[in-house]
Structure 1
């Protein structure tokens, strides 16, 4: 199949947080402020392309109450120290603003090289093991969250995350708690180690089918939970200040919240309806030529598509099955690579 142009109507990146440019990061809602002392809730957000989308995700988590000190942005651009040294520009797809992230109070971890999705997941796991974390959360950089301000009694998204952890049956053989699939997920480090981590030979799509099935084959549970509004978006709001209240004691469920919720919901709907490629946002920037570790953005996206298709082939050969239901149809973890291709029968 010929590849469709991965950059339909690319648009230049623009600054979407002018208040932060002026050094005026607003205050979040008083009822959303995280406690000074709290249960550790490390949250990984991996980044490869499109800085505005990432910044929106980070701001949304902070304004929903997640302690910035617990947020770890993983620079997975493969540009080594270029972003830390400020050598890339905004139109470069791999640009990330380290000073802005530090001003927001979050942590930055630089991946040693460009990692595939499966490799990035194993890097999260490796980092958690090295830091002696028994669990961690992770989210997509194209996710945005809001606390449910229509809920009574009201609790911020982060407060509900803490309550969710506190109410868990710790004797359960659990692996993952999903909040809107894996747009936000809680991970049990011991379970991930037990099944050998993610299969890096299936680098992108269907790697979750493989990994989640292997967990279930070893009788681990994967459950879905609800803690607030979590959106899968491909666009950004015009000004990130809209995530912050006019005053620290702004009434809940007001016009700002309703406007923001509808806008994010529209972004999600538009992304899901995109005919050419729902991940169009990844290839929206085309600049950076001549900068360190430059990659042709169109070529980069085309190569990714080839890699994705190869991963699907590996998955199919591994399980003798092309669909995502290998656990449901009775495949066994110890028989991987021994199955005959069922699509030839």
Structure 2
């Protein structure tokens, strides 16, 4: 093909591209059209006409909205290098000071829900920067915009409907139902669905205010863990050593054995001493970095942490921070 023909083909393609884009936009419809479909969906889901008429005129397209990631994070490191960066001494100092500041509230809530307070603080520190991430945007506008964008549309449609349910159930005004740019709300960064299922009134004032009431945020985290199997009679797990010829096929949360069974396979505490002499619980081996990396025997509470975010790196980071809060003891 000669140069002249190449130029003609390129010119044709460039002339067609805007037309195709316009056609796709026309098929998709405008944001206002999409909000109209959400209005019908809300009515179908039982949202009252009063709420619909009050809320929908206030919904605006939020172009800064970002789809939140739910999968295992991409970690360009091993736990040996990741943990010191994720939990530097400055974060440990902040966590311990934060714990001491709210110690009485944490102890009361921890006893009520059966969750050790250090884990409440560790989750808040790792996943929400101790409540400092902020919730500055309308969660309804954010979730509607994210649903309109198309990626994870069904998920964000559900968040939108559940946000409407929050307004109706808890009598929260549109302007007060705030989130960040991914649709996470409050000091503890709950999405609307999680809020509906787990938000708690931590101080007995009759409200579930995870945006400005730290007791409610603490209680909501504790209740989430409790409802996902947490037991305050146990900790999260322990780092261990394995023999050189250890079969890595034994690793994974689907495999559970007693301490005695793990001991018989050559597994020891990290200092080389024997594992606890108890067979009343079943534990699993996790090796996030493979057989050459760190190994942990983890308990039921570790699974509760994984239910919060399905990531070994997250669960181990929270657990590591919780240990730094525990030792030395905070008086």
TM range (shorter): under 0.3
> Structure 2 length as normaliser, TM-score?
0.24
Hey, which of these two has a bigger chunk of helix by percent?
Answer: 2
Hey, which of these two has a bigger chunk of strand by percent?
Answer: 1
Higher relative contact order (CA 8 A, sep 6+): 1
> Structure 1 length as normaliser, TM-score?
0.23
